[in-house]
Every structure is written in structure tokens, then in C-alpha cells.
Structure 1
Amino acid sequence: MTRSASFEGALAFAADLIRIPGLPGREADVAARVRQEMEALGLADVRIDDAGNVTGIARGRGDAPPVMVNSHLDVVAEGEHSDWEVPPFSGEVRDGCLHGRGAMDIKGPLAIQTYAAAALIGSAPGDVIVAHTVLEERGGLGMRHLLESGSVDPAAVVLGEATHGDVCIGHRGRAEVEVVIEGIAGHASVPERAINALDLLGDVLAAVRDVALERPTDPVLGEESLVATMVDVLPETRNVIPDHVVVAVDWRVLPGTEGPSLLARLRSHIHARVGTLPSGLTYEVRLATERQRTYTGLEEDVGLFSPGFLMDAEHPVVRAAARAAGRRFEGTGAATVRPWRFATDGGWSCGVHGIPTIGFAPGEERYAHSNRERLDVEEARWAFQRYPEVITAIQRALAG
């Protein structure tokens, strides 16, 4: 028997998901539970792909272009349980809010999207693709794999990242850049026999500040920013002159920016500061990489670069979504249209693949990744009621 697509069911599903931990690369149990619920709701072609993404289709009644709703299966670590007022894996509803890790980032919105899509089976102008992806919190390997595989071909994407009822249309991208300085190690008692890798540190940090002063700006997304966040020194011994220093740089970039151009800019500023290097001292500017493994066993060396994107506020998809969502907090009229302050998988869907992408979901961004994470139940109920209208409005706009 097909499960009824009610808000109460969606809320119970969200609470159930919160009780299942799912760090990046460890989403297997979450994926299995999501697949089970999608099948129970009557979605067609429910499957788990090679990367571990869960997809299904809410079949519509017509041939309007398909819209994909997307949230991610993974969550960030919960930290010390004693720091939480409500236990992080309780899924408890208290004081009008659903509490726990993932409540608003992003298991609550995932449940709302899934149930809203199920409510449109047989009535939407076209098919609704439901796709919940892995490893978003580590740069979006799941979404990238899903789109590159060609297993889905949406005409538009609606992300479940928190918008507090607004319609979000983009964000800056993010790059993790490393400056690696190499010298020659030696005993601290005879520094003349060594080349200290720390000798370049001051120039590198100054060059980072120089690049930050350039401040490329977008009128909607604001300024590019970068800052040095960490310095690793090897060997980690106080009486040894280090031969290896890595400076980590967090770089928030505007849409259209590519990794090689970033590296060239920083490299140029370091060169201007350093000039001719002493013999035995070298540096390299590179994009940080990490070996990522999905819970299904797919492994890749991934460059830590998440692209940005920005939709035109007058794009038909944006206008349709804003009108359909309406203003939850300010009475009648279209929803507020704005960017996010954080990165999402929209950088892959829109920034790389050019698929019109917006975000619409309950939840306040200030609670993301915090030990106070929560989702207001009445806001979630409102979003659940508006979601079918948002999806169908986008489909009608795409159909012309």
C-alpha cells in the first residue's frame, strides 16, 4: 500500500533520518532509509547509483520539462554531545522545533522535498526527479557524479538548502589553496647548515593579504575573499629547523572563476614579494586535494574547489518560484530573492552544467553546523504546503 504524502509523515521521516548518523562517505544507512521511504511513497525507478546517490521519479500527468529536487544525504560531525541542549541524534520535537544534527541541514528539507514530490504523482505537469546525493559537505562529488553520468537530465533544479522561505539564486564558490614551502632541515644549533622553510612564511602571508585587497566584487554576491587559515610545519620538533611548511588558504570566489587563474594570481603576488629565491628554498601554489571514497567504494582524488553560480533574478524559473513561494513573513507578494552566504551543490548544477537552479526550503542558516541545529515545525509545514506549487510553477515556466 502506497504511503500517504502528508506533512505529519514528512516530519516523522525527518526525525527518523536525524536518528541515523551519516558523515560524508558513511551515508549507507541514511541512503537505505531514504530509498525505503521513496519506494513506500510510490516513486518510480528508485535506485542507488555507483556513487551512492538515491534517485527516484514522481511521474507527472504531462510532458512538461522535468524538475529535480535535491538535498544531500551527509551531515557534518556533531561534536561533543554534552554541548547540545537536545541530543544531536534524538530527532526530538521540543518547543515547536525539530532538533538534532541535520534538522535543517538537510534532513528536514530532504523529507519535505521527497513528500512534496510524492504528492504530485499523477498531477504535476511533468515528471519530478528526486535526487539525494552524497558528499556535499566535502565539495559535492555525489552531485558531480550524478550529472556527469547522464542518469538524470533535469530542466531545472530546486535545492533544499536552508533559505528561511526565501528563494536563493546563487553563492560564491570556494577553493582550498595550499602554498607549500620546501627548505633543508637541520639542527637548530647550527642554522647555517639548513635552509629554513619558515623564512618565506611572512612573504606568503603578506601576498595573501595583497590578493585580498584586490576585492573583485559582484553587486549581488558581494566581494571575493581569501584568508590564511592554517600553517602546518614539519618536522614538529622545536630544536629542528623545518624543511616543510604548508599554508592553507580559504578562498571564496565569484562565479566563473577557475582554479588555474586563482593559483596564477597568488603565485604572481608571492613572486613580487619574494623576488629571487635563495638556493635550496622553493615554493609551490596548488589546489588542495583529498582522496574521497563513497560508501559504495567509488574512490577519486578530488580537487577541493566548489564552483559558484548566480541566476538572473529575472529568469523565468526564478520569477515563477518566487511568485509561487510567496512571502511567509511579510504577507502577500513574491518571496524575497537573494543569494546564500555558503556554498551548495548548485555550483555543479548551474555553475558547471548550466541548469537553472534555485533554492527553496525552511530553516535558518544561522543554525547550520551548530550545536543548536533545529527546524521550526510551522515553518516546515508552510514550506511543505508551498513546495508543490513551486515545482509546478517552474515546470509551467519551462514549458512556456
Structure 2
Amino acid sequence: MYEKLNQMAEDIRDDVIGFAQKLVQTPSISGAEEELAQLTVKKMEELGYDEIFVDDMGNVVGIVKGEGSGPNVMYNSHMDHVAPGEEANWEFPPYGGVIADGYLHGRAASDVKSGMASQIFAGHLIKKSGVKLKGDFIYTGVVQEEPAEMFGMRWLMDKTFKERGITFDVMISSEATSMNLYLGHRGRAELEVTTFGRTSHGSAPWLGVNAVYKMMPVIEEVRKIYETLPEDDFLGRATIALTIINCSPGALSIIPDKCTVSLDRRLVRGEKREDFVGQIQKILDDLAAKDEEFKGEVKIRTVKETSYKGISEDCEKYMHSWAIEKDDPMVVKCVEALNALGQNPGFGRWDFGTDASYVTGVMGIPSIGYSPMEEHYAHTPKDRCSIENIVKATAGNAAIAYAVAGQGSRDE
């Protein structure tokens, strides 16, 4: 069957690329994915998926049913994307879905709508082949991945799948991998550090305690932490970066009584919450021991997210690091399947974070990245994806399903 998949994918080239174009032409900023969700539901209905539904959060699920005796494989894409920014920076319109120079151009072409098209049409190839898998082919399109709180994915795993009794043995992520297999990435935490002071009139600063001045030694100590952070042989080095600084009341002639900085902390395996929060807490404790006027606190940032279906939740800005090994049985099966198609994937890791932080980092289910898209185009005005890669990835995703979910009987 593997030798036929390349030709089968080539036969539906125009349909796959046309759908990918339509996805790019359909804006789906985080929290506003409804139109895209309806578009993917309609397409899966046309392609003959056995079960299709949208959950209470707005996540989309499509299933090609297997015989129930083999591993289930879940393909995952996120439906949201970041804003295009200044349109003058774009060579092609961000929502044009223009095909030029062998690429599909536009916002989310590389993050992750080209991969989404290849995954959804892979399910079609499974149906078209006439071979029933032993396990299920499950496609999932989740909401609000871009804000990096795993809002949609957590709901899908903890509520939707649990209530419906849906399980899977490996997740194939469509996040950009340049046709290679990605096996992990660092975790991420957004830390808020606040120092407190006392207001006074700007003409009499000695009557107040300037919270910004109290923050200055904190920043200096945070800079020193960078050189001490651990390094992972596969994931790379842990990092810390100051990204935002604010003070309040933030008005002329008033000494600020509150200063807050945001720290972007990238985490490697083995780092726990108490470790990276504790590093900053120690700085605050040491400064308080030296200065009786010093008051400070550190916490992981929380934000309120609301889905397009109206569900709201306070979400913590914390994603676990994770990685799986090259000799993991699921990885081996993916390599064998892709090799059988004439593809020769290498191995890599993402610099950015993905929803696999929850699936693998929290739940412990293996995740593998496989995608036609290139990471360096993501979130840029050069957002694009190779047309040839989209077609090849459609065959590749179907081949992975055959290898992982297992070949059962032929449909009559």
C-alpha cells in the first residue's frame, strides 16, 4: 500500500492545495476560529469521515474509524493564528492565499494551515485506499494555541475525550518541521515580579519609596541568573529574558508605588515549578534581608481566555518541557513509513512551544512533529509553505497512520 500513497496524494493535489488556500483565506485569530471550524467540518463531511463533531469549547474532531483492535493515532493542528501586523511588510496579501514561486503564501501558511490541510486529506487517503485500519485515525483542530496556555487542548483532553471515551496512543503534530520529525521542545513560564513602594509627590521624592528603584537590583540579579541556567543535550539551554516593565500609578509628579516586570523563562527537562520560581524568590528574600523597605513578590502569570463559544477560564502561563527518544517505537514506525515513501526525515526540536507540552509533558502520551511547513517563516510577513511539501506530507501522514494504527481488513 505504501507505494500507492504517493500517487494517491498526487491525484488529489489540486484538492489539497485548494483547501489549503481556502484555509489561509479564512482569518482565524485566536478566539475567533468559528468560521474556520465550520470550514473544516464541512470538508471532513465531504471527505467521508465516519464521525465529526465540535465540542463545547469549539475544538473540531473528525474520526476515520478503525476496527478497534489497534493503536489510535491523533493528528493535531491548531485553528488560530497570530495577527498579520503591518500589511505593507507583506509581498503578498496576508489573507490572499496566493500561489507563487512554488509556495502558498499568507498568514498561517506555515503555522499551521498547510499542515492542517495535509492532515485532514490524509484521513481521506485512508478512506480512499479501501483498507480499514486496526486503530482510529483521529483529526483534531483546537482553539487558542497561540496564546500559549494550551486552553483548547486541555479542554479537549480533560473534558471532551474523557467524556466521550476517546483515547489515542500517539499525537502527530502539524507544527512546522520542514518534513523532518521533531521530538521535543523547551517549556515556558511567564513570571511576574512586582516590587512595592509608597507614593509621594514628585517634588518631594524623599517622602515616598520608589518601586522602580526597588526593582533595579532585582533586574541586575536576574541578569546574573542567565549564566547559571542548565543545558539539555537535546533541548538546548534554559533561558530567562525580561520582556515587559510597567509601573503605577504611572503619572507625572507621582512617585510609583508598584513596579512589575515580566520574565520569559524557557525550561529544560528536570526543571520544576519550585525551581524556577524559587530562583526569583531567593533574590527577593535576599534583598529584603538587606533593605527593610524592600517588598517584592513573584508569581506565574495568569490570564483569562474566552473561546468563540463563550467558555472562559483563568489560564496559567506555564508549559512543560518534553522530549521523546529516537528509538521510541512510535518514532521508529514513523521513520519506516516515511522511508517507504522515499522520504528521509531527520530529527529535530522546536525553538517555540506547542500544545504537546500538555499531551506529552503533562499526560505522558508520545508526541511527534511531522509537517510540510518551515519554522523560520512562522509569524513573519514571509509566511509561506512549499506546495510540493504539502502534497508529500499528505501521503506521509497517511503512511504514518498505516504504520502506527495498523492495517486491518479491506472495506467491502
TM over 0.5: yes
- For residues 323-352 of structure 1, give each alpha carbon's deviation from its aligned partner in whole angstroms, at most 9, with x where no partner exists: 322499xxx684211211111111111111
- Partners of 2:340 and 2:249 in 1: CA distance: 57
Tell whether 2:336 aligns with 1:323: yes
The match for 2:146 is 137
The alpha-carbon deviation at position 20 of structure 1 amounts to 1.2
Change (3 A) 1:155 1:227: same
Q: 2: CA distance between counterparts of 1:143 and 1:25? A: 14
Alignment of 1:99-110 (within 5 A): 99-110=105-116
Match for residue 383 of structure 2? 373
Which position in structure 1 is the counterpart of 2:47?
A: 41
CA distance in 1, matches of 2:263, 2:338: 38
Number of aligned positions between the proteins:
390
Report the alpha carbon displacement of residue 131 of structure 1 after superposing the two structures with TM: 0.6
Query: Would the alpha carbon gap of residues 253 and 327 (structure 1) be closer, same or farther in structure 2, given more than 3 Å must change?
Result: farther
Structure 2: how far apart are the matches of 1:251 and 1:169?
21
Residue 366 of structure 2 is matched in structure 1 by 356
Q: Distance in 2 between matches of 1:206 and 1:319?
A: 47
- SS of 1:169's partner is strand
Amino acid at match of 1:115: F
**Do the aligned residues in 1 keep the contact of 2:44 with 2:62 (CA within 8 Å)?**
yes
Q: CA deviation at 1:228?
A: 0.8
Separation in 1 of the partners of 2:103 and 2:95? Answer: 14
**Deviations 1:82-113 (CA, angstroms, capped at 9, x unpaired):** 21100000011111100100111011100110
Query: 8 Å contact 1:203–1:274 — kept in the other structure?
Result: no
SS at match of 1:247: strand
Please show how residues 137-176 of structure 1 align to structure 2 within 5 Å. 137-139=146-148, 140-149=150-159, 150=162, 151=164, 152-176=166-190
Distance 1:255 1:147 in 2: 23
Q: Specify the SS of the correspondent of 1:388.
A: helix
Q: TM-score under structure 2 normalisation?
A: 0.90
Contact 1:256/1:351 (<8 A) preserved: no
Give 1:294-305 correspondences, 5 Å limit.
Answer: 294-305=307-318
Between 1:183-192 and 1:385-394, the stretch displaced more is: 385-394
Report the CA distance between 1:13 and its aligned residue: 1.0
1:262 aligned residue: 276
Shift of 1:34: 1.0
Alignment of 1:204-219 (within 5 A): 204-219=218-233
Cα 1:75–1:304 change in 2 (3 A) is: same
How far did residue 297 of structure 1 move? 0.7
1:37 maps to amino acid: K
Deviations 1:28-71 (A, max 9, x none): 11111111111111112211111110001012356211100000
- The answer to whether structure 1 residue 344 and structure 2 residue 354 are counterparts is yes
Q: Could you say which residue in structure 1 is the equivalent of 2:234?
A: 220
**Could you tell me which of 20, 26, 37 is aligned with 1:20?**
26
Higher relative contact order (CA 8 A, sep 6+): 2
Could you tell me which runs of 5 or more consecutive residues in structure 1 were left unpaired when the two chains were aligned: none
Shift of 1:299: 0.3
1:274 Cα offset (Å): 4.9
Secondary structure of 1:230's aligned partner:
strand
Cα 1:226–1:394, aligned 2, differ >3 Å: closer, same or farther? same
Q: 1:179: how far off?
A: 0.2
Say if 1:211 and 1:269, in contact at 8 Å, map to a contact too: no
Overall identity of the aligned pairs, in %: 32
Cα deviation per residue 1:348-381 (whole Å; 9 max; x = unaligned)?
A: 1111111111000011111000011000101222
Aligned ranges 1:184-195 → 2 under 5 Å = 184-195=198-209
5+ residue gaps, structure 2, are 1-8, 408-412
Kindly provide the amino acid, as one letter, of the partner of residue 133 in structure 1: V
SS of match in other structure, 1:12? helix
Paired with 1:372 and 1:120, the residues of 2 have a C-alpha distance of 33
Contact 1:322 / 1:337 at 8 angstroms: preserved in 2?
Answer: no
2:5 aligns with none
Q: CA deviation at 1:244?
A: 1.2
My pick for the range that moved more, 99-108 or 385-394, is: 385-394
- Between 348-357 and 118-127, report the one with greater CA deviation: 118-127
Q: How does 1:221-236 map to 2 (within 5 A)?
A: 221-236=235-250
Q: Distance in 2 between matches of 1:137 and 1:26?
A: 12
Residue 9 in 1 paired to residue 23 in 2?
no
